[in-house]
Structure 1
Amino acid sequence: MSPEPAGVVPEVPPPQRDLTAHRRVAAVLQTLALHHVHPELRQLPGAVRTAQAAAEALGVTPAEIANSLVFAARTAEGATEPLLVLASGGHRVDTTKVAGLLELADLAQATPEFVRRYTGMAIGGVAPVGHPERIRTVVDVTLGRYDRVWAAAGHSHAVFATTYDELIRITGGTPMDVA
């Protein structure tokens, strides 16, 4: 690498703030610690709101990203409750199939307000755990193909490494083919 020409100052990225103290990230890490999980946490240089963006930032495939997707699930009795689907970023969730397997009337994409109400987190940073109350969870069986997967850690700039089996254990999730 050649030195910078005289008078040119090399561009230095601004320092990142430590997100472990962020309220939502701290809640995720605390919940993980209760399950005896002390994961590798990575801060990303920018907000990642899609599996593709997260995969590019981490140098993995989108399929290795555990997307935390919140749906408004309507029960047979007509009540609406949240459903968290931890889906491989490599494909889309078949909401009709998932609703049928869970004996729900239907699943609808949740609004940002609905997501924040039930998870305490903004879309793009929703973690599998660390919510104000436990949320019914489904874990995509496709994630089991990978030794390590990455999930949001409560902030759009933070992710943690985990495994398929660990996701099921820490969330109490139901394994399911969601595609």
Structure 2
Amino acid sequence: MCGAELTALPEGVQRVARALQDKAHPHAPQMLDDAARTAQQAADALGIAVGQIAKSIIFRRKSDDAAVLVVTSGDRRVDEKKVDALVGKTGRADAEFVKSRTGFSIGGVAPLAHATPPVTLIDRELFRFEEIWAAAGHPHGVFKLRPQDLEALTGAPVADVVQTL
């Protein structure tokens, strides 16, 4: 990407693409034909296992109203008690909170390039896979990475944040 092609992308995807370029990430965002608002939709569109989708879940920390981003494997459910033990008591974040804090709409929240940097945790279950895919700032936008790349791009710790199967 030289930069000129970014202007054809939605604003959120442009932000993600610039952040990836700035960190020399080898994979630019791709736009899917259909929306991938859920991990299953994204996995189906990419022809991969649902667990390879790095889904971004936003919580609202009660003590300071900070956004808490949990990037988890698409086939797992976040255990809010485990998250709370790591970052303090959280609650649900509505669509308005998510958009105002991240700059992204639900269904397209990327793990980086947020309007306000969130408190971030990475689900260790993502490390089961060699390759994963994350939202790129729009319900149609995704980008490829490795779990180790996610750790490097976000600077976030890897933790046990999901419900036991």
* TM-score past 0.5 threshold: yes
Once residues 160 and 19 of structure 1 are traced to their aligned partners in structure 2, the CA distance between those partners, rounded to angstroms, is: 17
Map 1:102-117 to 2 at 5 A.
Answer: 102=87, 104=88, 106-117=89-100
User: 1:170 — aligned with what?
Assistant: 153
Map 1:61-72 to 2 at 5 A.
Answer: 61-72=49-60
1:21 and 2:9 are equivalent in the alignment:
yes
User: 1:124 — aligned with what?
Assistant: 107
Once residues 20 and 48 of structure 1 are traced to their aligned partners in structure 2, the CA distance between those partners, rounded to angstroms, is: 19
User: 1:81 — aligned with what?
Assistant: 66
Once residues 94 and 138 of structure 1 are traced to their aligned partners in structure 2, the CA distance between those partners, rounded to angstroms, is: 12
Map 1:128-147 to 2 at 5 A.
Answer: 128-147=111-130
* Structure-2-length-normalised TM-score: 0.90
1:90 and 2:75 are equivalent in the alignment:
yes
| SS of structure 1 residue aligned to 2:84 | helix
Give me the CA root mean square deviation: 1.5
Over the matched positions of the two proteins, sequence identity in percent amounts to 38
For 1:112, the aligned partner's letter is A
Once residues 8 and 52 of structure 2 are traced to their aligned partners in structure 1, the CA distance between those partners, rounded to angstroms, is: 23
Consecutive unaligned residues of structure 1, counting only runs of 5 or more, are 1-17
Higher share in helix: 2
Contact 1:19 1:43 (C-alpha < 8 Å) held by counterparts: no
Map 1:33-72 to 2 at 5 A.
Answer: 33-72=21-60
For 2:47, the aligned partner's letter is G
Deviation at 1:101, TM superposition (A): 2.5
Once residues 7 and 131 of structure 2 are traced to their aligned partners in structure 1, the CA distance between those partners, rounded to angstroms, is: 22
Contact 1:19 1:25 (C-alpha < 8 Å) held by counterparts: no
* Structure-1-length-normalised TM-score: 0.83
Consecutive unaligned residues of structure 2, counting only runs of 5 or more, are 1-5
Q: Which runs of 4+ in 1 moved over 6 A?
A: none
User: 1:11 — aligned with what?
Assistant: none
For 1:101, the aligned partner's letter is L
User: 2:3 — aligned with what?
Assistant: none
Deviation at 1:21, TM superposition (A): 2.6
Deviation at 1:46, TM superposition (A): 1.3
Structure showing greater Rg: 1
